[in-house]
Amino acid sequence: MARPSDWRYGYELSRETGLKSGTLYPILMRLEKYSMLEACWVATEEGVPPRHTYRLTPNGLELARTKLAEARPRSMVRQPAFCNG
């Protein structure tokens, strides 16, 4: 969300989110299916398979912002529960 126009690799997303490939890819597939995500192939060095890169579409970006906005007040309400005081 910090750099929404950047193309990201699958493994990179996996490391950032902590999701395993078996969990991450079905989500990416579904986001792409509902036009929330765009994907493109990037050729890398010779002899190495091309890589798939992803970024959110405007629709996806809007959905992500909405979801974040929904999640933020909840996390703020929850916060005191984790405080010692």
Partner 1 sequence: MLETQLRQAATVLLESAIRIAPPDSRDWGRAMMGELPYVEGSWAGTLWALGGSSVLAKQALASLIIPGHRGKGIVPDGGLFAKSATLRKAALAIGAACVLVAFLFFAAPPFRQAFRVALTPWYHMFQIASRNPEPGFKTLAGRAEQRHDPEGLAFCAVRMQDPRESARLAEEAVRLDPNLLWVYAVVALRHPGLSETGPWVERLERWDAQNALFHLITAESIEQAHFRGPELTARAPEQYPAWQSAMAAAFQSPTFDDYFDRVAQLNRRVVRRYSFYDPYEVESREQIDLPLHAFQNSERFAQLLLDSGAALEARGDRKGGRDKYWTVARFGQLIDSQGRTGAEHGMGTTLQAMAYKQFQGSFTEEGKKAEAALFAYLAAKFDPGKREHFGVAGDSAFGEETSERNAAVVQISGLMILVFCGLMFIATAILIAGSRRRAPLAAKRAKPVAIMVVLSSAVGLLFSSITLYLTYRPYWYIFQSAILNGDRVETNDFRYFLNFTPALPGVSPRGYHVLVNALLYSGSPSFLFYVWTGVTLLGVIGLALILLRRFLGRAHNHAP
Residues lying near partner 1 in the complex (CB under 8 A) are found at 9-11, 14, 20-23, 25-31, 33-34, 36, 39, 48-52, 63, 78, 81
Question: To which H or E segment does residue 67 belong?
Answer: helix 58-82
Burial of 63 (0-12, 13-18, 19+ CB in 10 A): middle
Cβ–Cβ < 8 Å for 51, 41 = yes
Q: How far is the CB of 74 from partner 1 (least distance, A)?
A: 9
CB nearer to partner 1: pick between 39 and 61: 39
CB nearer to partner 1: pick between 4 and 15: 15
CB nearer to partner 1: pick between 4 and 27: 27
Tokens linked to 27: 């989500």
Q: How far is the CB of 44 from partner 1 (least distance, A)?
A: 8
> What is the DSSP code (8-state) at residue 7?
-
